[in-house]
Amino acid sequence: MGISKEESLRVLAADDSVVMRGIMRRLFAMQDEGQLSGLPAMELCGVAQDGVECLEAAARLKPDVLVLDLEMPRLNGLEVLDRLRDENPGLPVIMCSSYTERGARSTLEALARGAADYVMKPSEQRDLATALQSLAQELLPKIAALAKRRERPSERRTALTGQGARAGRPDERTGAAIEVVVIGLSTGGPSALEQMLPRLPRDFPVPVLIVQHMPKLFTGALAERLDRCCALRVMEAYGSAAILPGTIWLAPGDSHMEVSERRMGSLPGREARMRLHRQEPLNHCRPSVDYLFHSAARLYGAGVLALMMTGMGSDGLSGARAVHEAGGVVLAQDEATSAVWGMPGRVVESGIANAVLPLAAIAGELRQRVSASRTMLQAVGEAAVSTAVSRREGIHGLF
């Protein structure tokens, strides 16, 4: 069900900066005047200059989305989020963050406390026009996606049941052992990772590589935060790092991450290494999930397990298809537990998902599939050795 032309999305903005409140007013005036096309109608139904005003306005105006500043008097953004948990738990919140180390850490804490997404404040822009353009590209599509997420929950549950039934088909894998897990996320990703990754055990036998759409300062802070709560080591990726079990690698913001092969000199075998580069954004993203998934499919073939989790847009769809065509496993997070069912939804709609899973079941599915694939390969190898020995003994028995 779409939003009718007569019906506007109602947005509440809370910020203690007079300049920022003025920018928000101008932004929604431009959107209302039709200068920003391709999105549903939106209106700024109210502004608040501190946390107390924000909570009062949210109760009175009943907005579809709240755009919330972190640093405000009386109640700051984190305190507002804590109150909203009880007073208005279904209201999607987008944090307005400054591009600083402190801003990055506070934003990640806000996402853990229930905020759905964030945008960067345009404080570094040269002029008002550039600031408006930047905010329009980042903020307005997120408002539209999060507001749509709230529509008709009963219809979403019905649709999900059908999607799950279509995706629940037997594996078509060739029997290769899973050698690597690659994950792509965007909107809602940090909170989802913080819930899922700590459920992977310390002895998880394959490396995990993740592309989360975030700026550079944020990915470093996210890696540190995840490392504190995970049994596995979590690190921000760096060039030429050896890709070995025991570590979860997070792509750094503003760099694409790929896996590449390095021959081991005169010794037999190969070694997987990290490759980072800053080629043009792909699908408007850098890092891009597609770069990681395509490179994993090339290097590991059927040994890839690709997981698409919550996120807006379609980044990673092409790479997930490459993994599927190489014989690997493709999993997707379900709609009900995704902040935005864009990236995983595209994978499911394409028909390449081996399974569609709620967030709480993903870690268990990863453990089961990785373990089963490696156990099966070991059993096949042992059976082959046993057969060879039996044949040799049979031949010797003839003489």
> Which letter does DSSP use for residue 176 in this model?
P
Catalytic residue among 97, 186, 295, 373: 186
**Half-sphere exposure (Cβ direction) of 127: Cα atoms closer than 13 Å:** 1
Catalytic residue among 64, 106, 213, 294: 213
Known active-site residue 294: no
The whole-angstrom separation of Cα 326 and Cα 323 is 5
* 179 Cβ neighbours under 8 A, 6+ residues apart: 206, 300, 303, 304
> 3-class DSSP state for residue 394?
helix
> Which letter does DSSP use for residue 358 in this model?
-
As a residue count, the chain comes to 399
Q: Residue type at 248? A: I
The whole-angstrom separation of Cα 120 and Cα 112 is 17
CB atoms within 10 A of CB 279: 10
Helix H, strand E, coil C: the string for 25-82 is HHHHHHHHCCCCCCCCCEEEEEEECCHHHHHHHHHHHCCCEEEEECCCCCCCHHHHHH
Residue listed under structure tokens 């109760």: 59
Which of 101, 49, 58, 98 minimizes the C-alpha distance to 76?
A: 49
* Dihedral sign, Cα of residue 190, residue 192, residue 197, residue 198: positive
Contact 145, 311 (CB under 8 A): no
Known active-site residue 186: yes
The DSSP string of 230-286 is -SSEEEE--TT-B--TTEEEEPPTTSEEEEEEEE-TTSSSEEEEEEEE-PPPBTTBS
Pseudo-torsion of CA 12, 15, 18, 23, nearest 10°? -50
The whole-angstrom separation of Cα 105 and Cα 99 is 10
Known active-site residue 213: yes
Catalytic residue among 69, 117, 315, 334: 315
> Which residues are annotated as catalytic?
186, 213, 315
